[in-house]
Structure 1
Amino acid sequence: MAADGFASLARDDAGMNVIFLRRGLATLPADQRDSHAAGMILAFVVDDLEGELARLTAEGVAVTMPLTEEEWGERAFQVRDPNGVIVQLVDWKGAGAA
């Protein structure tokens, strides 16, 4: 679901909902309207990491951490949302994966 300044991601099978809000929305309490996210990474496991990287790059999204592979098998890249939240897309298909 999406509207001006609002996007909601949900998975019925996982019982979760992640909501992104633009800073400054009048619907937020005054003490939250201009808050920046700090020290938080929102990570999503994806099936096609390279495909998502290509798709986001084609859409003009700035990649803030290039695709990397850790020795334990995690592969990931990062972008930032307009509020500064780090969004990491990840898979576990690297050399160290079990």
Structure 2
Amino acid sequence: MQITASTVSLTVDDVAASQRFFTSHLGYVEQAAAEGFASLTRGDAAVDIVLLARGTDVLPADQRDQHAAGLILAFTSTGIEDEEKRLRAEGVDITMPLREEPWGERLFQIKDPNGVVIQFVEWATPSEPA
């Protein structure tokens, strides 16, 4: 087997709100969309995202009413300090301000309108030995 792409499918209450958030603030573009469905992509290594309306019949019965909770969609990138400033200036709520962990991880978090947690990570030189 060879994996040629990766996609995360998120079940949300308001597909249009998440779709607008990801396209307006995070550089995603729509690949396809229909009632209760949107497929988003970027031109880089970011995972593709499929948004499905909670309760949709295309999901197995035991998954229809689940919500994308307990999940952190993490993007490892460069320049996250500038990214946090840009998102803050655009009015995005920074739910965890930029910080650096002793092991060298720099990160901050935001949430989309459906409560999907999005984390940006950049690796720095650790300030303490591992």
**TM score, norm. by length of structure 2:** 0.57
**Distance change >3 Å, CA 11–CA 78, structure 1 → 2:** same
Greater CA drift, 3-12 or 69-78 = 3-12
Any unmatched runs of 5+ in structure 2? 1-28
- The percentage of aligned residue pairs carrying the same residue is 46
Counterpart residue number, 2:98: 67
Distance 2:43 2:128 in 1: 26
Supply the AA of the counterpart residue of 2:117.
I
RMSD of aligned residue pairs (Cα, Å): 3.1
Please name the residue that 2:107 is paired with.
76
Q: Give the ranges of 4+ consecutive aligned residues of structure 1 lying more than 6 Å apart after TM superposition.
A: none
Deviation per residue, 1:35-67 (Å, 9 max, x gap): 321211111011101110011111110000011
1:8 is aligned to 2:40:
yes
Runs of at least 5 residues in structure 1 that lack an aligned partner in the other structure: none
Q: Which residue of 2 aligns with 1:53?
A: 84
**Does 1:88 find its partner at 2:119?**
yes
TM-score scaled by structure 1? 0.72
Match of 1:18 in 2: 48
Distance 2:113 2:53 in 1: 9
What SS is found at the alignment partner of 2:84? helix
Question: For residue 74 of structure 2, what is the aligned residue in structure 1?
Answer: 43
Deviation at 1:18, TM superposition (A): 2.2
Contact 1:74–1:97 (8 Å) recurs in 2: no
Q: Does structure 2 retain, via aligned residues, the 8 Å contact 1:74–1:91?
A: yes
* Distance change >3 Å, CA 25–CA 9, structure 1 → 2: farther
1:25 and 1:72 map into 2 onto residues whose CA distance is 41
Q: Tell me how many residue pairs correspond in the alignment.
A: 96
Residues of 2 paired with 1:82 and 1:34: CA distance? 18
- For residues 113 and 70 of structure 2, the distance between their equivalents in structure 1, rounded to whole angstroms, comes to 15
Deviates more, 1:34-43 or 1:84-93: 34-43
